[in-house]
Amino acid sequence: MDSLNRGEGAAARGPLVALDRLPDGAFAEVEAVIEGDAESLVLCRDGDAVRAWLNICPHAGRRLDWAPGQFLKSREGLLVCAAHGASFQLSDGVCVAGPCRGEALRPVPVDVREGAVWLAAAK
């Protein structure tokens, strides 16, 4: 798990992870302060783009990883919840198979800049 500057203001936050530590097609788990609470996030890199979601399955509220920072990816390229097998599209976080079909992971806006992944500034 990467350490973070847990400041509340956008200027006080540090990067979530260096982009070169997140290989294309890979997942990573990081912690960040979201709306005042420390949260586990799952990041997924797709070329130069990175998507982020809360590391919580909408089915039962459990973490998606089977061990800290270790995620399952199906042959079809879906993120699979280790607890109950729900499968999520990486494009939008929507569950396409399993107990929460049709529900979606909660997205967290991130930016890629300066060679790193950052929480997007609040609007």
Query: Do residues 48 and 110 touch, judged by C-beta distance below 8 A?
Result: no
Yes or no: domain 17-69+105-119 corresponds to CATH 2.40.160.150: no
The pTM for the full model equals 0.86
Residue 10, classed as helix, strand or coil, is coil
Q: Domain map of the chain by residue range?
A: 17-69+105-119
Q: Give the pair of three-digit tokens for residue 93.
A: 């976080």
Residue 41, classed as helix, strand or coil, is strand
Least confident of 4-13, 47-56, 96-105: 4-13
One-letter identity of residue 57 = C
Render pLDDT for 60-116 as a digit per residue (tens, 0 to 9): 899 999 999 999 999 999 999 999 999 999 999 999 999 999 999 999 999 999 999
Distance between CA atoms of 95 and 58, rounded to whole angstroms?
A: 9
